Structure 1
Amino acid sequence: MTCYEELVRRGLIAQVTDEKEISNMIDNGKATFYIGFDPTADSLHVGHFMALCLMKRLQMAGNKPIALIGGGTGMIGDPSGKSDMRKMLTKETIQHNVDCFKKQMSRFIDFSDGKAMVVNNADWLLDLNYVDVLREVGACFSVNKMLSFECYKQRMERGLTFLEFNYMIMQSYDFYMLYQKYGCNMQFGGDDQWANMLGGTELIRKKLGKDAHAMTITLLLNSEGQKMGKTVGGAVWLDPEKTSPYDFYQYWRNVDDADVIKCLKLLTFVPIEQIEEMEKTMQGAELNKAKELLAFELTKLVHGEEEAKKADDAAKAIFAKGGVSDDMPTTEIDQTELDGGKMGILTLLVKCGLCPSNGEARRLVTQGGVSVNDEKVTDPKMMIDMADAVIIKKGKKVFHKAVAK
C-alpha cells in the first residue's frame, strides 16, 4: 500500500486538483508541501492535530513539510467559517504565539538537517507595497469569481470587511512565495480552504506559466478538527500548562462511540489493518479497549510515552476506586478566594478548568451534569464547603479534586 493510498483509506483526502500527479509525488517523496497555521492563541489545540499528524505521516514517507505560521495573515484573519470578524491581535502577541507554535510542532515534525521548515509569512507580507500588490497580484483575481465562493457568500449578509476580503489574495500569495523561495510544490488545507488554495495554484500558473507544477489538496481537516476541538470544558490544548496530560488523555478516552474508529484512522499511527479489524467488533469491552488505545496513542504523541502511561494508570485507578485516587487531577484554591470557607459551584467549576465560563458551568449544572462528593448539584447558586477535599464529577467519567490551601 502506497502512502497516498493509505491517506485515502484513512479518510484524509477530500479533494485534489490532479490525483495521479499528486499521488506520484507523495509516494516517491517528491512533495515539498505546506500547511498554514494562524497564530491566534499561544498554543496549538486538537483542531490542529490532524494537520500535524498528516505532516508527520508525509515526512515519514520522505516528503518535506513546511509549517507556515501566519504572522502576516494573522494580522487580518480568515473569514472562512466565521460569522464575525476576528479580534485583531498586536504584533507582539502574534510573535509570542509564533514562538509557542514552533516549540510544540517539534514534537511532531523533525526539523533537523533541513528535513522540514518553519516559515513566517510576515517575512514577505508585512513589507509589501500596496500599489505593487494591486498591480502584480490583484490583477490575477476576479472579484466576481471570489464572491462566488462559499467562504465569502456566507458573510455577505452579515457584513464582510475589505480587510477580510483580501485574505484569499494573501494566502494565495503565500503559496506563490513558498513556490519561488523554497520549491514548495504542494499545499494542504481544510475543506473550508479550497477556494483560497485554488487561488494560490492559479496565481502561480498565471505568473510563472501553465507548466508550473503547483498542486492542491484539501482534507476533511478543518470541519473534523473543529468538531474534535469542542468539548463541554472548552478547547483542548496541546500545551500541558493549559490542558494536563491526564485531561488530554481523558478527552480522547471519552470521545463519542461513533467517532472512535474515525479518530484512530485520522490521527494515530496504529496500522490501518489493525484499526479495520477492530472496527468489525466494536461493542462493549472492545469499544472501551479502542478508546483506551486512542487516548494512549495520542497522549504519547503529544506528551511522550511516560506521561501517557501515567495518565493511563491514573485513569484506571480512579475508575477502579469509584473516582477517588491520589493521582486524580487536583486544583489548589487559595483560602482568600473563599467566602466563609465556601465557593460557588460555578466559580469552582471554572477554577478547576472543568468549564470555560460561568455560563457554560451554569448550563452543565442545570442539566444535571455535575456531582460533588457523590451528591448531584442542580442549583447554580449552591455554595460548596471547602473545609475538606472536594471531589467533583463532570458527566460520567471526568473526576477532579479541589483542595483549599
Structure 2
Amino acid sequence: MGDARRMFDEMPERDTVSWNTMIGSYARAGEISAAVEMFGAMMCCGVDVSATAVVALAACGWQGESVHGFSVKTGFCKDVKVAAAMEGMYFRKGEIGCAKKVFEEATRRDLVLYNCMVDSCAKARRIEEAMGLVDRMRQEGLKPNTGTLVGVLSACGASGAIVPGRRIHELALEIGLELDTALGTSLVDMYFKCGYPKEAIAVFYAMRDRDVMAWTAMIMGLGVNGQSDAAISLFHSMQQDGVTPNEVTFLAVLNACSHGGLVFEGKKHLESMVRKYGMSPHTEHYGCIIDLLGKAGRLDEAYELIRSLSSHGDAMGWRTLLAACRVQGNVELGRTVQARLDAMGNYHPSDTILLSNAYALGDRWDEIAQARDSQGQKMVMDRKEAGCSAIEVSSSDI
C-alpha cells in the first residue's frame, strides 16, 4: 500500500477513478481508518463522490449509520450495488432489521439485491425467510439463478433441513436451471448432510460436467455416510476421468479411510499425495491417519507418526491419540500423551476423563482417583494464575 499511496500523492491530477481505487484498496486491506481518511479528503477536494467509494466503506463496516445516512442524502441509496452493500454491512453487524429496511426502501429490487438478501438470510440460518424471499422475487417477475439458491442449500445442509432443501431442488427443475457444477455440488452436499445419500448420488450422476469440487463433495459424503469403499472407488474413477485431486479431496479420501478402518488405503493415499502430486499434508491430513491407526489399535505406530512431524503434532492430533488410548485401554501410552499435552500448555479437563476411562478398562480404580485429584489441582492452579495481581508498597506507606 505504501508504494500505491506514493504514486497517488505524486499524481498532478486525481480523478474519481484514482480516488475510488485508493479507498477500495485500503478497505480490502483492512486499513479502515486510512480508507475513511481518504474518503474525507476526497470530499474536501471537491471531487464528486461515487457509489463505488460508498460501497467500499460499507464493505469494511465503517460507521454503518453514517454511511447509510450519507447514501440516502446523496441519492446513492438508489444504486442497487450501494443498497446491496448496505444490506451486507448490516447483516455482518447482526442488525437484521436495518438490513430489511434497506431492502424494503430500495426504489428498485433487482436480482442482485434479492440474491444479496437471500444469501444473508441463509447465512444467518433464517431459512424460511430466505425461502419467502425466493417466492417473492418470482412473484415480482424475477427468475432465481444458481447464485440465489446455493446459499440456501448450504444453510439447509448445515441445519439438516431436508424439506426446504427439496423445495429448492424442485424449484431448480421447475424453472429449468442447468445443473451446473455450483448448483449440482450444493445439492449433493445438502442431501448428504441431511442423510439422503441416494438422492445425492442421483444428482451427481445427472450433472453434465463435474469439477474437482463436485467429486470431492461426493467422496466426502460417501465416507461420512459409511460407504468408505464406494468413496475410494469413486476417487479412482475421478483420476481415470482426468480430474486432478486437490488437498481437500485428499482430506475427504483420508476421512473416508478413517471412517471405514482402511489402514492400508489410508497410508497409500497419504503417500500418493506427497509423491505423485507433490502436495504437503497438513495437520488435518495427519489427524485422519492418527485417528485411523488409533481405531485399528496401532497406537505405537500412531505415536511414532505424530512424533515424526516437524511440528511434533498439534493438540488436536495428540488428543485424538489420547482418545484412541481410552478405547484400547492403553494406560501407559495415555499417560505419555497427557504429559505431552501438559507440556504444550494445552491441558483440558477432558484429557483426565479420557485417561480415567482407560484406567477403568483395566480395573485400575485407585489411579482414577489420583488422576482426578491431579485434575483438581491443575484447575485450582489455573484459577490462581488467572486471578493473580501485585501491589507495590513503598516504605513510606508502612
TM class by smaller structure: under 0.3
The TM-score normalised by the length of structure 1 is: 0.27
User: Relative contact order, CA 8 A, sep 6+: which one is greater?
Assistant: 1
Report the structure, 1 or 2, having the larger strand content: 1
The TM-score normalised by the length of structure 2 is: 0.28
Which structure has the bigger radius of gyration? 2
